[in-house]
């Protein structure tokens, strides 16, 4: 069963953002058939890598209300108090932040952490330092979303570019309904995702813990 689950993850269909890269690699490999073994091998390796990197497996969110789910696969690199990005207008008071670092081997599709309504989306350019560093939250290029919960509280999820990543894609729009576990974007080639919990909500995860986007519970809004 574990082997079957692994195969489903590795062989999951690619996210549409990867289609141009996969097509380009396949084209190089096709040309390599006539040009030479080296070109063919390069195109094939790049195609296989992109198929793996852009894989977009199905996820099964917990069917229980008032949970905050991880917005990404990866490992928790920090859990602590921090002020949400000022461009979201959520105020200057620190709140609990859970930062998840996505290595180049992780699934990079981002998922909504809660049910609610997207009230604000703000993009901010920045640097591209290693996303595992704590200062990446402040200095790196980012795309931040504010989500209004049904009870009126606010939560923020932030897509952060990394050392290799140079492109943040966000399909959500202001006014959209957020559905916990639903896809809303992707970050290419290594990144980080931060979640700022509502006031007084405590995280249930620890540094080093493995996250599965759309499935791992990071907080309970009812406690």
Q: Which candidate in 70, 132, 137, 191 is catalytic?
A: 191
Q: What is the DSSP secondary-structure string of 130-181? A: -TTSTTHHHHB-EEEEEEE-TTS-EEEEEEEE-SS---EEE---TTPEE-TT
Does 137 qualify as catalytic in the annotation? no
- Nearest-CA neighbor of 82 among 141, 139, 134, 152? 134
**Angle formed at CA 61 by CA 75 and CA 65, multiple of 5 degrees:** 110
How many helices (H) and strands (E) would you count in the chain?
Answer: 4, 13
Would you please indicate which residues are annotated as catalytic (active-site) residues? Answer: 191
């Amino acid at each position: 069963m574990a082997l079957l689950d692994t195969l489903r993850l590795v062989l999951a269909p690619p996210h549409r953002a990867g289609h141009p890269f996969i097509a380009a690699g396949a084209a190089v490999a096709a040309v390599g058939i006539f040009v030479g073994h080296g070109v063919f091998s390069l195109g094939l390796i790049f195609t296989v890598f992109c198929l793996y990197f852009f894989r977009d497996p199905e996820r099964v969110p917990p069917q229980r209300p008032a949970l905050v789910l991880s917005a990404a696969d990866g490992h928790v690199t920090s859990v602590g108090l921090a002020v949400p990005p000022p461009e979201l207008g959520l105020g200057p008071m620190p709140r609990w932040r859970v930062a998840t670092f996505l290595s180049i081997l992780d699934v990079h599709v981002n998922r909504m952490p809660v049910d609610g309504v997207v009230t604000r989306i703000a993009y901010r350019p920045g640097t591209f330092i290693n996303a595992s560093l704590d200062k990446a939250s402040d200095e790196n290029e980012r795309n931040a979303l504010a989500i209004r919960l049904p009870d009126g509280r606010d939560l923020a999820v932030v897509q952060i570019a990394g050392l290799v990543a140079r492109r943040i894609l966000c399909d959500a729009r202001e006014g959209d309904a957020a559905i916990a576990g639903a896809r809303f974007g992707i970050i290419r080639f290594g990144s980080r995702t931060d979640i700022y919990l509502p006031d007084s909500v405590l995280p249930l995860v620890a540094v080093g813990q493995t996250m599965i986007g759309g499935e791992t519970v990071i907080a309970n809004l009812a406690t």
